[in-house]
Amino acid sequence: MGTRKGIDRTLLSLLVLGSLVLANLLGLRFFARIDLTGDQRFTLGEATVEALADLRDPVTARAFFTADLPAPFSTNARYVRDLLEEYHAASDGRFRFEFIDPVEAETAEDKDKKKEVTQDIFGRTVRESTSVEQEMEELGIPSVQVRVNEDDKLEVKRAYMGIALQYGDATEVIPMVQSTEGLEYDLTTLVRKLTREKSPRVGLLVGHEGPDPREKLGQVLGLLSQLYELVPVDLTAEGAALPPDLDALLVVGPATPLSADEQRTIDSFIAGGGAVAFLLDAVTPDLNTFTAEPTDHGLEDLLETYGVILEDGLVVDAEAATISIQQQRGFVRIAQPVRYPLLPQPKGLNPDHPLTRGLSQVIFPFMSPLRLAGDSKAEVLVESSPKSWVQAPPFDLNPMQEWSGLEADEAAARSLVVALSAPPRHFEDEAEPPPVEDTERREARVVVIGGSAFIQDQFFSPGNQALALNLMDWLVLDEALLAIRTRGLAAAPLDELDEGERARIRYANVIGLPLLFILFGLARWRLRERRRSLVHA
């Protein structure tokens, strides 16, 4: 009897061991993962799968990550390796990658170089770079100083955490992976940038005393220029026309009226399937003096035909961002953070529209309210909070003023951003316009925003950057890529619980769990006693 039990246990152990060996062998040959997250954030997006499927020639990724780094850097390295593995699997091998530890890649000559340490005139320790370090320097992947605990000592270690993509003779680089959030978007964007024949062409309307591109729009234009070909468009000259291969047009903060000919040109572009974003200001604010100059863009009638009415005034919102105000306290000046209701930071971003889905922490400074006209088909994308109202001219921009005197019947949510597709034509007497060159475009797209300051350098927060990129992706019909960027950006707050529910959960944790362990122990004890009684019976 005992011998038979021993054989059964040995056989079972061999079967389990054989199953584990077989699973490992299959794991080496086949790659698979199960994504149990609610928004499938660890599953490749549609845009990534399409970009990899369209690869004609191989793309090679080299990930330079120093080994044995502390968390969270070690976690980032593991995530990068897994993500690159998924890219490789989804591309049928056309996306290739190497995961390189710069220390392990050193040659014997490199090791000798590291031993030849000298001091410069300031007493700092210096040495000649190794071949791997020189290669990363040429690629634009910098070293970073990381604190590590080695042999019970806290030391500073030189580390690398960058990725280089190569396609033919072209190279693109992610210099440092500081966070895994948005990494898939960055990789897919670079893959598409390397492999596409031409970048989408976006025009920026000039000639109307709007925000200076170099002084106020440097960050947003630098960001967009990485993905799009930006061209200035001046329609003020007689007979001026839009470039024939334009994909989208940005009308940013014009401070002088657009002529009838300019509006007719833009209207014709939209009627032909073009995409236009109107970022229009009621005033030009000066935060140094807290004064404002009124502007006149002359586009009210055109946009009302499209179904959007631009109202006078500035939206004042209780849900607002803070600014730093310098105040004199005795002999010193200190910076004091002050909530500034003229900088709405609303939570009312449309979660169903691809342009605003997943976004948060977006600041909308000095915005004018929008209203939908009649049977307008426009869709509201951003609203101020229900605790907002409209300040009529003359405008007081002083952040230290008393924001009181609000009447209850004036408080209401105001539309700040709206989008519409295929709007009606304003100049009906015009001939049928030629279609834009993009043969895949089905209908025009228009976005109207009651201000342009949200893309200016002084307000260009990470949330505003994401909105600006989403805006461009939606205008040029790249919603699949847009969906990757917003994944994981939305906050996931816990549902609000009443006092009774919180008390029940608290007592369940304090009393319920120990009680379950006690009941489990009693049940095990009773089963053992029953077995003993059966054996002795």
Per-residue pLDDT of 239-295, as tens digits, reads: 889 998 899 999 999 999 999 999 999 999 999 899 999 999 988 888 778 888 888
- In degrees, to the nearest 5, what angle opens at C-alpha 292 toward C-alphas 287 and 295? 130
Residue 6 domain flag: no
- Residue 51: both structure tokens together: 């970009």
| Contacting residues for 214 by C-beta, under 8 A, at least 6 apart | none
Quote the pLDDT of residue 298.
Answer: 94
Are residue 97 and residue 228 in the same domain, yes or no? no
**Does residue 301 form part of some domain?**
yes
Between 382 and 46, the higher pLDDT residue? 382
Q: Is residue 265 part of a domain?
A: yes
Query: 180 and 243, same structural domain?
Result: no
Residue 140: CA atoms inside 13 Å, Cβ hemisphere, count? 8
Q: How far apart are CA 28 and CA 13, in angstroms?
A: 23
**Where is pLDDT greater, at 30 or 223?**
223
261 SS3 class: helix
Residue in this structure with the two tokens 């993962």, named with its chain if needed: 33
Does residue 305 sit within a domain? yes
Name the residue with higher pLDDT: 84 or 73: 84
- Calpha distance 501→515 (Å, rounded): 20
One domain, residues 177 and 220: no
Q: Tell the burial category of 352 from Cβ atoms under 10 Å away from its Cβ (0-12, 13-18, 19+).
A: exposed
Overall number of domains in the chain: 2
Peptide bond into 433 cis (omega under 30): no
What would the mean pLDDT of 103-126 be, rounded to a whole number?
74
H or E segment to which residue 126 belongs = strand 125-127
Of the candidate ranges 45-54, 223-232, 448-457, the one whose mean pLDDT is the lowest: 45-54
Q: Tell me what the pLDDT averaged over the chain comes to.
A: 83
pLDDT-based confidence at 95, cuts 50/70/90?
A: very high
Which residue, of 486, 501, 523, is where some domain finishes? Answer: 486
The more confident residue out of 393 and 236 is: 236
> Sorting pLDDT into bands at 50, 70 and 90, what band is 333?
confident
Assigned token pair, 417: 């951003």
Same domain membership, residue 233 and residue 147: no
Query: Based on the domain organization, do 337 and 469 belong to the same domain?
Result: yes
pLDDT at residue number 503: 79
Q: What is the largest CA-CA distance in the chain?
A: 110
Residue 404 in domain: yes
Roughly what angle, to the nearest 10 degrees, separates helices 73-90 and 46-53?
50
Are 369 and 250 found together in one domain? yes
Q: Looking at the DSSP assignment, which residues form a beta bridge with residue 249? A: 203, 276
The boundaries of the domain holding residue 124 are 29-184
Examine the domain organization and report whether 303 and 406 are in the same domain.
yes
Identity (one letter) of the amino acid at 419?
A
Q: Are residues 218 and 121 in the same domain?
A: no
Q: Mean pLDDT, to the nearest integer, of 119-128?
A: 67
In a domain, 460, yes or no: yes
Residue type, 118: T
Is residue 166 domain-shared with residue 219, that is, in the same domain? no
Count CB atoms within 10 A of the CB of residue 344: 30
290: its two tokens: 């807290």
Do the domain assignments include residue 146? yes
| Distance separating alpha carbons of residues 361 and 221, to the nearest angstrom | 21
Predicted pLDDT at 32: 59
Are the beta carbons of 460 and 215 closer than 8 angstroms? no
**Do 332 and 433 sit in the same domain of this protein?**
yes
Task: Give the Cβ contact number of residue 68 at 10 Å.
Answer: 13
Higher per-residue pLDDT: 57 or 535: 57
Judge whether 14 lies within some domain. no
User: 128, 149, 184 — which closes off a domain?
Assistant: 184
Paired tokens of 131: 């071949």
Whole-number Å distance between alpha carbons of 472 and 419: 13
Give the contacts of 5 (CB within 8 A, at least 6 positions apart): none
User: Domain check: are 138 and 49 in the same one?
Assistant: yes
The answer to whether 357 touches 471, Cβ cutoff 8 Å, is no
Task: Based on the fold, state whether residues 125 and 174 are members of the same structural domain.
Answer: yes
CATH number at residue 268: 3.40.50
**Coil, helix or strand for 224?**
helix
At residue 90's C-alpha, the angle toward residues 87 and 92, to 5°, is 110
